[in-house]
Structure 1
């Protein structure tokens, strides 16, 4: 499918260099994820025209907009804090963009009324932002961004300011609106759930570079950095594969039912890790001694972190924790079945 957005964004900020390529097709939502300082916000600002490119290109629907000022770019933006005009009503906020595009007051209000109706706020048009809830303000901000019929919609942590319950409800509404948006959408977020629910494709950025991209199934099945592994909840190690064995460090190796040769990753979920007070008998191919470093609640279970030849996270039930008499410094044995691991090439 032809890309609606075709960009290479190169921005220098002191010693930091952002250099990433982004392509987004019509109707596609791409999530840009990464740790703090990775360059996500810089990328969004460069696309919106709020930060100048030092190099690269920026084409939207085949047109070069690199040198266009923000107000001339066919782009709608929903900022993290929404940035609604506090002195304007919801209706006037949404009508602002169409008015800037040259529509008369009647036309602009007609557009605003249609969008407020679409986001379920037809009866809130006369309210000012201070009289709106967080979820309502988010929907007004989305309506304002979409009212200009943007070729590219930029969403900067659009759900971050909401409480958990409102976030759940609004996420579903936002997904519905994004599915109906014919243009390209870029979602900047640090929340993996927002990305997985709202986006068709994920682009992971670390230290100003794209380290992995693909659909959710690809990313979650084969993470390629520690950040991505934590994002999808996996233990991840890099080493050298020799058939079904991946040597990680100082002779320590993990066995997998997958076969891989050369540079390799091996990954497994914390739920696949079994803990024992003594060396287990029987079938587990991967066993090693470890020392308990930390215990935290993780949903209905406990997330246990252990140090040893490798650092590993394990999820266990409170009943299992009581049986093991867990406390920092406790010596335990770790077991992971070979069938529970995934090994894959490190150079692809």
Structure 2
């Protein structure tokens, strides 16, 4: 698959330096995820021309975009707060881009009307942004970005400003529009659900560097940093493998059914962790004493964090929590079956 976007983005902001490579194929949506301060927004701003590159390259369809100012780049942007022009109607907001590209007023309005119809807002063209709901404003912002037929579409946390119900509905609509977009799309988000639903591929950045990339199945099966492990809800440890044994912190060992050697990761889900008031006997190959540190609601269950030779998160039912008489500082035993773990090379 050929790359429509071929970029090596190097940009400095004070002591922080972004240095990442991005390639996006025609029709592909890539999600850029990472913790706050990882460089996601800096990457988007360099692509849009709002922040200058200090090195690397930026090519779109073989064309060098680095020297071009923002208004000359074939790029559409949907910002987190949408940034609709408050004094313009929805119709004029969408027509703004085509007008800037030299289209006459009548033709630009015809394009705007077409896009408002495509996003389900054909009867809202005369409304100002303050008269629109959050979901409606998001759709107008998307229509405005797509009305210029962008080769590259940039989405900066496009659903973050919406409430949970509107977000669910709008996410489905956005996915439909992205599937129809023939160009490349970069979605910047901190929400793993947005990334998993909307993107074909994930790129994880931390401290200005790419730490992992791939499709959702690859990322969720084999996380490579603590951030990614938390993102996909796994306990993750790095250690030294020797056969079925992985030595992690301070000589503590965990057992897996996988055969590994050298620098490795070992991961397992919180649902694989069983808690006992006393040291268990029987089948679990991994058991250790721990102290309960925190309890939080997690869906219909409880997410319990425990400290011990290694920190670990466990998911248990409210009934199990009541039986264990859980409270902070409570001593417990942790058990994880070797068959529930995955061990894999760290390199």
Q: Same fold (TM over 0.5)?
A: yes
Partners of 2:188 and 2:250 lie apart in 1 by 39
**Which residue of structure 2 lines up, in the alignment, with residue 85 of structure 1?**
85
The CA deviation at 1:251 is 1.7
The reply on whether 1:24 has 2:20 as its aligned counterpart is no
**Which residue of structure 1 lines up, in the alignment, with residue 290 of structure 2?**
290
The CA deviation at 1:250 is 1.8
The CA deviation at 1:214 is 0.2
The CA deviation at 1:249 is 1.8
Partners of 2:328 and 2:122 lie apart in 1 by 56
Which residues of 2 match residues 129-148 of structure 1 at below 5 A? 129-148=129-148
Which TM-score applies when normalising by structure 1? 0.99
**Which residue of structure 2 lines up, in the alignment, with residue 62 of structure 1?**
62
**Which residue of structure 2 lines up, in the alignment, with residue 337 of structure 1?**
337
- Tell me how large the CA RMSD over aligned residues is: 0.4
Partners of 1:249 and 1:163 lie apart in 2 by 41
**Which residue of structure 1 lines up, in the alignment, with residue 301 of structure 2?**
301
The reply on whether 1:6 has 2:6 as its aligned counterpart is yes
The CA deviation at 1:270 is 0.3
**SS in structure 2 at match of 1:2:** coil
Partners of 1:269 and 1:322 lie apart in 2 by 22
Partners of 1:271 and 1:289 lie apart in 2 by 18
**SS in structure 2 at match of 1:106:** helix
Which residues of 2 match residues 86-235 of structure 1 at below 5 A? 86-235=86-235
Partners of 1:260 and 1:154 lie apart in 2 by 41
Partners of 2:262 and 2:222 lie apart in 1 by 16
Count of residue correspondences? 347
| Structure 2: gaps (5+ residues) | none
**SS in structure 2 at match of 1:109:** helix
Partners of 1:298 and 1:2 lie apart in 2 by 42
The CA deviation at 1:296 is 0.8
Partners of 1:258 and 1:120 lie apart in 2 by 51
Partners of 2:206 and 2:32 lie apart in 1 by 10
The CA deviation at 1:14 is 1.1
**Which residue of structure 1 lines up, in the alignment, with residue 43 of structure 2?**
43
Partners of 2:283 and 2:338 lie apart in 1 by 10
Partners of 1:234 and 1:249 lie apart in 2 by 17
Q: 1:213-250, CA deviations, whole angstroms, 9 ceiling, x for partnerless residues?
A: 00000000000000000000000000000111111022
**SS in structure 1 at match of 2:174:** helix
The CA deviation at 1:155 is 0.1
**SS in structure 2 at match of 1:321:** helix
**SS in structure 2 at match of 1:250:** helix
Partners of 1:311 and 1:248 lie apart in 2 by 11
The CA deviation at 1:11 is 0.5
Would you identify which runs of 4 or more consecutive aligned residues in structure 1 move more than 4 Å?
none
The CA deviation at 1:281 is 1.1
Partners of 1:258 and 1:117 lie apart in 2 by 54
Partners of 2:303 and 2:254 lie apart in 1 by 21
Partners of 2:249 and 2:183 lie apart in 1 by 47
Which TM-score applies when normalising by structure 2? 1.00
Range 222-231 or range 242-251, more displaced: 242-251
| Structure 1: gaps (5+ residues) | none
